[in-house]
Every structure is written in C-alpha cells, then in structure tokens.
Structure 1
Amino acid sequence: MKRHQTLRDLSREHHTALTLALAARRAATSGDSRQLAASAKACGEVFATHLEPHFVVEETTLLPALARAGEQALVARTLREHAALRSLCGELPGGGAATLLRFAELLSAHVRFEERELFEVAQAGLEQ
C-alpha cells in the first residue's frame, strides 16, 4: 500500500520489526539454547536502537494527532501494546523460549495492527 509521506518512514521501519519477530520466533522454537540467547540479545539491541525510537515518534506525533481526531480506542491499544513490548523486552535476558516467543508474536501482531488499522485511519485523516 502506498503510504502518505508522513507515514512512509514509520511504515518502512515495520519491515525491521517483522524481520526481528520472525527470527525470534524461529529461535524460540529451535530448541537451541545458544540460538535462543543470541536472539534474545539481538532483540534487546534492535529494540533499543530501532523500535524504541520508532515508538517514541509514534507516541509524540502520530498518537496525539489521532487522539485529537477522536481515535482514543486506537491510541489506547497502541500505547498498551507499546508498554507490553517494552516489558517483554526487559524480560528477554534469561526469560527463556516462552518469553521470546511471546515477544515475537506480540511484535508481529502489533506491526500488522498498525499497518492495517492505525495507519489506515491516520492516512485517511492526512488525505483530507
């Protein structure tokens, strides 16, 4: 889908998140403790360098605009999921396969929610 200019960078960054989620899911189900540990470490690093800054941009620019437009339910869901992902990321060191899998599944579902719902509503407002 072609995105409005103000959403393009955020949308592109979702590719990094989906790639990370796929790798984490594979590691979590691999049964290999070294792969699991490496993936948990990589998730923490990518979260700090890419995902957290992405969340901050959304939370300081996009979400306030959507809240002003009356989209409180979408904003609340986004903030809940950001908080859950931050929490899970903090649990990754030593959290085991189940924690890594929960992180991967929530990250993937969150990106799809943003692309299919949040950004669709935002884009409709930007095109007016």
Structure 2
Amino acid sequence: MKRHQTLQDLSREHHTALTLALAARRAADSGDPRQVEASARKCGAVFASSLEPHFVVEETTLLPAMARAGEQALVARTLREHDALRALCGELAAGDAATLQRFAELLSAHVRFEERQLFAAAQAALEP
C-alpha cells in the first residue's frame, strides 16, 4: 500500500524493526548463550538509536493527531506497546533467551499492528 507522505518515513523505519525482531527470534531459538547475549546487546543499541526516536516521533506528532481524530483506542494500544517494549528493552541486559523472545515477538506484532491498523486509520484521516 502506498503510504501518505507524512507516514512514509515511519513506515520505512518499520523494516529495521522487523529485521531486528527476526534476528532476535533466531538468536533466542538458537539456545546459544553467546548468540542470545550478542543479540540482546544489538537490540538495546538499535532500540536506543532507532526505535526510541521512532516512538518519540509517533508520540509527539502522529498519536496526538490520531487522538484528535477520535482514535483513542488505537492511540492507547500504541502507547501501551511502546511502554512494554521500553520495559523489555531494559530487561535485555540480563541476556536471557526468554526476554529476548518476548521482545522479538512484541516488536514484530507491534510493527504489524501499526502498519495494518494504526497507519491505515491515520492514512484515512490524512486523506483530503
């Protein structure tokens, strides 16, 4: 689906998140503590450099506009998932496979939710 111009950068950034989630899932499934630890470190670094700034843009621009458009349920879910991902990211330092797996699953599901539901609703609201 062609995204509205105001959503294109955010949508492109989702590719980075999905790639990260897939790599994290593979590392968690590997059973290799070194792979899990390395992936957890990478997730933390990418979260800080890419995902957190992405969340901030959504939270300061897109979500307020969506709330004004009456999409409180979508906004609330997005914020809950952002908070959950931030919390899981903070737990990644422990380097355990279960946390890495939860992080990967939630990140992947969150991106798909945003692309399929949040951005679809935003696109409809942004159309002239």
TM-score (norm 1): 0.99
CA distance in 1, matches of 2:94, 2:57: 29
Q: Residue in 2 aligned with 1:17?
A: 17
The gaps in structure 2 that reach 5 residues or longer are none
Cα distance between partner residues in 1 of 2:67 and 2:4? 19
What is residue 72 of structure 2 aligned with on the other side? 72
Unaligned runs of 5+ residues in structure 1 are none
Q: Following the alignment from structure 1 to structure 2, what is the Cα–Cα distance between the partners of residues 15 and 57?
A: 16
Q: Following the alignment from structure 1 to structure 2, what is the Cα–Cα distance between the partners of residues 54 and 7?
A: 12
In the TM superposition, structure 1's runs of 4+ consecutive aligned residues that sit over 2 Å from their partners are none
* Count, aligned residues: 128
Counterpart-to-counterpart distance in 2, 1:59 and 1:15? 19
Q: What is the TM-score when the length of structure 2 is the normalising length?
A: 0.99
**What does residue 85 of structure 1 align with?**
85
**Cα deviations by residue, 1:4-25 (Å, 9 ceiling, x for unpaired):** 0000000000000000000000
- Residue equivalent to 1:123: 123
Determine the C-alpha separation between the residues in 2 that align with 1:116 and 1:31. Answer: 32
Task: Tell me how large the CA RMSD over aligned residues is.
Answer: 0.5
> For the residues of structure 1 that align with 2:49 and 2:10, how far apart are their CA atoms?
14
Mapping 1:1-128, distance limit 5 Å: 1-128=1-128
